[in-house]
Amino acid sequence: MAKVAMTVNGKAVSGEVEGRTLLVQFLREGLGLTGTHVGCDTSQCGACVVHIDGAAVKACAVFALDAEGASVRTIEGMANADGSLSAIQQAFQDHHALQCGFCTPGMVMSAAALLAENPKPTEREVREYLEGNLCRCTGYHNIVKAIMAASGQEVAIAAE
């Protein structure tokens, strides 16, 4: 066991972990932040995406010890300071971009990273950026729509 310390959602945290403990395990089991999900064991599904020092990262592909000293943001840290939904979260609700909610934390974290990098993406760019995030419920239509809306663009794909 080794000691690890980092900042999660703005708070300093620390804990004892094994060398093999993944960041996602440390978040879920060590810190009780169960909003970050585990959907696979091959780093393919994106349910575990968090931000490490601002970049979207799959938390199942990082050892907890490797996040020593880092600033980590999870879905629990995404709402506005007053607890209301952030623009991206609100767009997800407004456009019914989630059903079972299991992929949702990872989707929101990826979407936030995308819009930070590319504030006005095209529909194609959104779809390509989400390559690493699987959703089995929505067929992606409304997720893409929500992200376009959160970017402040006309929702060109609103077909209904």
Partner 1 sequence: MPKDSGIGASIKRREDVRFLTGRGRYTDDINLRGQAHVAFLRSNVAHGRLRGVDTAAAAAMPGVVRIFTGEDFAAVGGLPCGWQVTGRDGQVMKEPKHPVLAHGKVRHVGDPIAAVVAETYEQARDAAEAIAVDIESLPAVVDMAAALAPGSALVHDDLGTNLCYDWGFIEDSKAAVAAAIAAAHHVTTLDLVNNRLIPNAMEPRVAVGDYNSASGESTLYTTSQNPHVIRLLMGAFVLGIPEHKLRVVAPDVGGGFGSKIFHYAEEALCTFAARALNRPVKWTAQRSESFVTDAHGRDHVTRIELALDRDGHFLAIRTSTLANMGAYLSTFAPSVPTYLHGTLMAGNYKTPHIYVNVKAVFTNTVPVDAYRGAGRPEATFQLERVIDKAAREMGIDPVEIRRRNFVDAFPYQTPVAVAYDTGNYHATMDKLVTIADLAGFEKRRAASAAKGLLRGLGLNCYIEACGIAPSHLVGQLGARAGLYESATVRVNATGGIVVMTGSHSHGQGHETTFAQVIADMIGIPEAQVEIVHGDTANAPMGMGTYGSRSLAVGGSAMVRAANKIISKARKIAAHLMEAAEGDIELKDGKFRVAGTDKSVDWGAVCLAAYVPHNYPLAELEPGLEETAFYDPANFTFPAGAYACEVEVDPETGRVTIDRFAAADDFGNIVNPMVVDGQVHGGIGQGIGQALLERAVYDANGQLLSGTYMDYAMPRADDLPSYVVDHSCATPCTHNPLGVKGCGEAGAIGSPPAVVNAVIDALHRGGHAHVTHIDMPLSPARVWAAMQG
Binding mask 30-59 for ligand FES (x = CB under 6 A): --------xxx--xxxxxx---------x-
CA 144, CA 103: separation in Å to the nearest integer? 14
* Contact range with ligand FES by CB under 6 A, out of 3-11, 92-100, 117-125, 144-152: 92-100
Give the containing element (helix H, strand E) for 46: none
Give the containing element (helix H, strand E) for 50: strand 49-52
Give the C-alpha distances (Å, rounded to integers) separating 156 from 59, 99, 123, 124, 126. 33, 22, 8, 12, 13
Joined together, the tokens standing for residue 15 give 């804990």
CA 83, CA 68: separation in Å to the nearest integer? 28
| Residue 60 contact partner, candidates ligand FES, partner 1, none, CB within 5 to 8 A by sort of partner | ligand FES
Q: Min. distance of Cβ 17 from partner 1 in angstroms?
A: 12
Q: Quick one: which of 4, 114, 143, 149 contacts partner 1 (CB under 8 A)?
A: 143
What three-state secondary structure class fits 132? helix
| Half-sphere exposure (Cβ direction) of 27: Cα atoms closer than 13 Å | 32
Query: Cα Rg for the chain, rounded, in angstroms?
Result: 16
Q: Min. distance of Cβ 72 from partner 1 in angstroms?
A: 13
Tracing tokens 């974290």 back to the chain, one arrives at 109
Q: Min. distance of Cβ 59 from partner 1 in angstroms?
A: 13
| Residue 160 contact partner, candidates partner 1, ligand FES, none, CB within 5 to 8 A by sort of partner | partner 1
Name the residues that contact partner 1, by CB under 8 A: 18, 20, 28-29, 33-42, 44-45, 47, 74-76, 78-79, 85, 89, 92-94, 96, 98-105, 108, 123-124, 126-128, 130-131, 133-145, 157, 159-160
Give the footprint of ligand FES on this chain (CB under 6 A). 38-40, 43-48, 58, 60, 98-104, 135-138
